[in-house]
Amino acid sequence: MAEHKDIEAVADRVRAAHDFLHIDDVAEELAALDEEVARPDFWDDPAHAQAVSKRASVLRDTIAEYDQARAMLDDFAAAMELAAEDEDFAAEADDAFSALVAFLDKLEVSSWFSDRFDAGDAIMTINPGSGGLEAQDWTEMLYRMYTRYVESKGWKLKVLDVVPGEGIGLDKAVLQVEGRNAFGMLKSESGVHRLVRISPTDDKKRRHTTFAGVEVLPVLPDDIEIDVNPADLRIDVYRSSGPGGQCVNTTDSAVRITHLPTGIVVTCQNEKSQLQNKEAAMRVLKSKLYELEEQKRAEELAELRGERMDNSFGSQIRNYVLYPYQMVKDLRSGVETGNVDAVLDGDLDEFVIGYHRWRVSS
């Protein structure tokens, strides 16, 4: 059974949660937002109102989670008192202790996501690398893995663009993931994913190695303004090639936007109308342009400081081996497992959290 000292240890962790969750600051900010929401003209600017409401909801969730940790601590203490008088309650005390420790672990993980856009939504793009049909098939496998992972987290998934490959697989997939800490969590997935297996398209059943690249960008909040000159854009419309509703496949609703100065091309074809596809494509373009500017600033600062910049995106981050043995290993954190099927079915928390634990400790 959990010892008395465990009460003091977890009580210290609950008190620490008050500090690393910045509960006093959160409560003060929430009070200010509630005053703003109460103003009669609050909904005159719907976009701003929606952003404020979303932020207030995140702050309420933070306070509610801290309150839940305190309540679970009280439950554990009560269970310990009962167990001291009657051993039949020992299992209940152990269960309460395990539940509280797991919940505190979850809160501590959330505290890692403190960068500007970590708490917000993410845009994930999956592209095949070298390997032809194999790479397209691998892209579809990753697409399935991430959609399953998003479902398991209770996040909302919006498919912006899915381009079928020639024969099998996908030539590209663009997803918008909406949920608390979605961008912060999914940053772990940016980079090149390597697959080793017996090729299903090889008649001689030889072992093949193939690659796919994953890019994760933040969905920029409304208070971030990215000026895009319309003269710098070439906008093409075409008929959707992917699965969709009746209107999607019978009208020129798909949109391709080319940013001429940078050569960045974004497409969206899974919304119901051309206007919705254009808005979604512009959202992705602005995120890419913002990321490009941030990268330039980082390189300029590194040059001034005489530092050498590593190109993190584009580097191999994880191996998925299906033959001659089964293993998934993250090359940064060292996390590995032999349960490849579970990982490809969306069981990714061990790798996502393992990466961030490695990042924070580094």
Residues of the chain with pLDDT under 50: 1-2, 243-250, 308-314
Q: Which residues contact 83 (CB under 8 A, 6 or more apart)?
A: 1, 89, 90, 92, 93
Give the pLDDT of residue 310: 45
Give the pLDDT of residue 313: 40
Give the pLDDT of residue 114: 80
Going by C-alpha positions, the residue among 196, 187, 143, 189 that lies closest to residue 168 is 143
Give the pLDDT of residue 137: 95
- Give the model confidence (pLDDT) of 204-241 as tens digits: 778 889 999 999 999 998 778 898 999 999 999 998 76
Taking the CA atoms of 212, 290, 56 and 355 in sequence, report the sign of the dihedral they define: positive
Give the pLDDT of residue 305: 62
Give the pLDDT of residue 242: 54
- Give the model confidence (pLDDT) of 46-91 as tens digits: 888 988 998 899 899 999 999 999 999 999 999 999 998 888 888 9
Going by C-alpha positions, the residue among 216, 210, 217, 176 that lies closest to residue 194 is 210
Under 8 Å between Cβ of 125 and 193 = no
Under 8 Å between Cβ of 136 and 128 = yes
Q: Which residues contact 344 (CB under 8 A, 6 or more apart)?
A: 141, 144, 145, 320
